[in-house]
Structure 1
Amino acid sequence: MPRAIVLNQADNVATLLDAGSAGEPCTLQGEGSGQMTLLQDVPFGHKVCIADTPQSANVLKYGQVIGRASQNLKAGEHLHVHNIESTRARGDLEKR
């Protein structure tokens, strides 16, 4: 069973400590606890969504905004550049 660590209570993502496959249960450790089911294959070290997150909502890791959801995200979904938009060092985005 893959494991994932939640680094801050405010986070809506966890980082996988073991690679996981779609349909597998995943145990959350650290600042979050519990279990979820992976919706997709997630490589070691990648992020997984731990709470349904609407499009344009902030994605939090370390209790800090690391990007914005570029689509609606579901708990258990693999998070990467295909569904998270970076907000750091972007002069084209207005301050929110």
Structure 2
Amino acid sequence: MIHFVVHEPGDVVGVIVVEGIKAGTDLVGWVMEGDSTVNIRSESDIPIGHKIALQDLKSGDTIIKYGVDIGKVVAPIKKGEHTHVQNVKTKRW
């Protein structure tokens, strides 16, 4: 079963595509470019459509999703954690 999708190997987040992801769940992600998979343990409950960190990220790091810079980390994020407005902000403001 695929739990999250990653567009490109350089992305630092994946997007959850199933309901009910709970902390401690072993997840399988599909990397579209190259048609490969990646395994991660969820460290947070994550709603469908939200992001999961694929690596540890520190404040100031850039979030790459779908090969695009979508913002910066404003609070440390551990691999497997929910990545959303509580720890990522746009670079526009």
TM range (shorter): 0.7 to 0.9
Counterpart AA for 1:53: L
User: Where does the alignment leave 5 or more consecutive residues of structure 2 unmatched?
Assistant: none
Counterpart AA for 1:78: H
Match of 1:78 among 77, 82, 90: 82
Taking the aligned partners of 1:57 and 1:68, their CA distance within structure 2 comes to: 6
Name the % identity: 28
Counterpart AA for 2:28: T
Runs of at least 4 residues off by over 3 Å:
none
**Is the CA contact 2:30–2:38 (under 8 Å) kept in the aligned structure 1?**
yes
Q: Which residue of 1 aligns with 2:39?
A: 35
User: Where does the alignment leave 5 or more consecutive residues of structure 1 unmatched?
Assistant: none
Secondary structure in 2 matching 1:36 = strand
Q: Which residue of 2 aligns with 1:21?
A: 22
Residues 30-65 of structure 1, C-alpha deviation per residue, up to 9 Å, x if partnerless? 245221110110001110001111111000001111
- Structure 1 length as normaliser, TM-score? 0.85
1:48 matched to 2:85? The reply is no
When the two chains are superposed, the root-mean-square deviation of aligned CA atoms in Å is 1.5
Report how many aligned residue pairs link the two structures. Answer: 89
